[in-house]
Amino acid sequence: MTQPSPAIATSSIDERKRAAAIAAVAEIRDGMLVGLGTGSTAHFAVEALGQAVARGLDVRAVATSRQTATQAIALGIVLLKPAKVARIDLCIDGVDEIDPEFRAIKGAGGAMLREKIVAGMAARRIAIADDSKAVGHLGTHPVPAEVLPHAQAFVTRKLREIGCKAVLRLDGAGAPVLTDQDNIILDCHMAGPVDWAELAGHMDAIPGLMGHGLFLEEIDALFLGTAQGVERRERAR
């Protein structure tokens, strides 16, 4: 971990998110292929990358959601189709919470399946967040699962059998939230202490559960926006 830089002291949550995002984008070099996350913190990173591209940075990117793709295209960032990309250099994305072992819960924005695929492509993965996202122990948020609509009742039963109370995510009008793949989201609430690796393994094994928001190995560095500046933490491997 490095000390926060007092030169960019920040106060509001959005300023902290933006500072973390700008620090991560500063790692991007000419010629890189970059993964762009989803959410309000990732939005700041895409904005900063768009500005760097306007100044002449030569990069290409893959987006983790339609929302991010729309923003990136509007800023003139060249996007590749993820289906044609197997490896990227760097991925920058937000988290909902992250513990001291760099294990995170993601997916409040519903993009965790594509986010995990893009993280899997990346040689280096930087999580960006304001300091409210750093927790001592995971479990403040439910773990979101992207589920094939056809499998809703079955997956709900299988989740119950492994101790999760699965709640269908609804939008403001009471309709199921659909992912970019037109799947539903079940938010999995846990009671009592959780073995996160065991839970991830169980979820990975349920047919019809396409992906989930437990990112236990997919983060290499955390750039945390704090009131004192950006704190950079590297995962010990």
Nearer to ligand 5RP, 93 or 218 (CB): 93
Nearer to ligand 5RP, 20 or 151 (CB): 20
Nearer to ligand 5RP, 6 or 39 (CB): 39
- Report in angstroms how near the CB of residue 31 gets to ligand 5RP at its nearest: 26
- Report in angstroms how near the CB of residue 158 gets to ligand 5RP at its nearest: 22
Q: Is 97 a catalytic residue?
A: no
- Report in angstroms how near the CB of residue 67 gets to ligand 5RP at its nearest: 9
- Report in angstroms how near the CB of residue 121 gets to ligand 5RP at its nearest: 16
Max distance between CA atoms of the chain, in angstroms, equals 54
Kindly name the residue from 115, 146, 218, 231 that is annotated as catalytic.
115
Strands 143-147 and 97-98, by their bridges, are unpaired
Nearer to ligand 5RP, 106 or 232 (CB): 106
Which residue, among 29, 37, 22, has the nearest Cα to 57 in the 3D structure?
29
CB 104, CB 97: distance < 8 Å: yes
Query: Interface residues with ligand 5RP (CB under 6 A)?
Result: 37-42, 93-96, 106-112, 115
Catalytic residues, by residue number, are: 115
